[in-house]
Amino acid sequence: MIALVRTEFVKAAFRTRTLVIALMLVGLPTLIVVAIKTRGNRPGRGDNGEGLFRLAQQSGLLVPAAVLSIMSAFLLVVIAGLLAADSVAGDAAWGNLRYVLMRPVGRTRLLIAKAAVAAILIWACVFVVAVTALVAGLIAFGSHPLIVPALPGTGGSATAAGFQLAASTVLTRVAIATVYVAFGFTALIALGTFFSTLTDTPTGAIGATVGVYIVSEILDGITQLENLRYGLPTHYLDAWQPMFTQNVYPHDMIAGIVVQLAYLAVFGTAAALWFRRKDIRS
């Protein structure tokens, strides 16, 4: 299995697109930090004043959380979709898949290896973003404790008390947030791998995967759907943010992990069953 993962990793990682992605993942956090540092936080420019970006100007330790909050909303979704949905379909499009499967290689093992490589790469992407943002943030804003001011409660009647987080606490929570964001792509990897087994056209599989996420985001915005929203793969993706804005470890993070694992079980099983029965025609 290790050999199979290694070969799939080399095939997926040693590509020009990997270099382009790496440059984006290093460049964008740096650009964001430079923008915040030079232009400051202006009311009405996408940050309501209490958000992570305003807080991040106090301490560079919080910059990774701020950067992840926007990059995990779309760019990292596209990258994860690309990595997962291209895994089988890309190999099929090259015509290489049939040669791999003419070896004594179990199809389920191959699928697991491909999904594992997609997961390894998206975790690496998230960590590159976090580390880059941390380095840039420390250079720009230093490593100070975080002071969160009192926030107006909902309806304006109650007021949430302010609090202070030590630098070590901020760093620990940033690490937890980074792991949670990376784990939040589990459902996407499962969906992408499933779609990848359905077609020999990588662009179709990538489009379907990212499309499901966009639809999920739209549905999640419709509050009338009530409990149905809790089963959407995107519903709990931002559940980590109250660690910094409300000084709590949210129970929603546990729910988010459960939802991700459920999608992994359902679509991972579906992908394996389909791939085992599939005629390789590419």
Give contact residues for other proteins (rule: CB under 8 A): 3-4, 6-8, 10-11, 14-16, 91, 94-96, 98-107, 276-277, 279-281
Least distance CB 89 / other proteins (angstroms): 14
Least distance CB 44 / other proteins (angstroms): 46
Nearer to other proteins, 6 or 45 (CB): 6
Nearer to other proteins, 1 or 258 (CB): 1
Nearer to other proteins, 34 or 105 (CB): 105
Are 49 and 43 in contact by the 8 Å Cβ rule? The answer is yes
Least distance CB 27 / other proteins (angstroms): 23
Pairing of strands 146-148, 163-165: antiparallel
Nearer to other proteins, 94 or 127 (CB): 94
To which H or E segment does residue 229 belong? none
Cα separation, 12 vs 245, in Å, equals: 38
Nearer to other proteins, 91 or 220 (CB): 91
Cα separation, 104 vs 15, in Å, equals: 26
Q: Among 107, 121, 83, 123, which Cα is nearest to 4's?
A: 107
Up-side HSE of residue 256: CA atoms within 13 Å toward CB? 22
Nearer to other proteins, 11 or 229 (CB): 11
User: What are phi and psi for residue 173, nearest 5 degrees?
Assistant: -70, -30
Nearer to other proteins, 99 or 249 (CB): 99
Least distance CB 185 / other proteins (angstroms): 24
Least distance CB 32 / other proteins (angstroms): 31
DSSP secondary structure letters along 80-132: HHHHHHHHHHHHHHHT-HHHHHTSS--HHHHHHHHHHHHHHHHHHHHHHHHHH
Cα separation, 156 vs 214, in Å, equals: 32
Cα separation, 111 vs 108, in Å, equals: 5
Are 83 and 120 in contact by the 8 Å Cβ rule? The answer is no
Least distance CB 105 / other proteins (angstroms): 5
Cα separation, 217 vs 232, in Å, equals: 8
Least distance CB 116 / other proteins (angstroms): 14
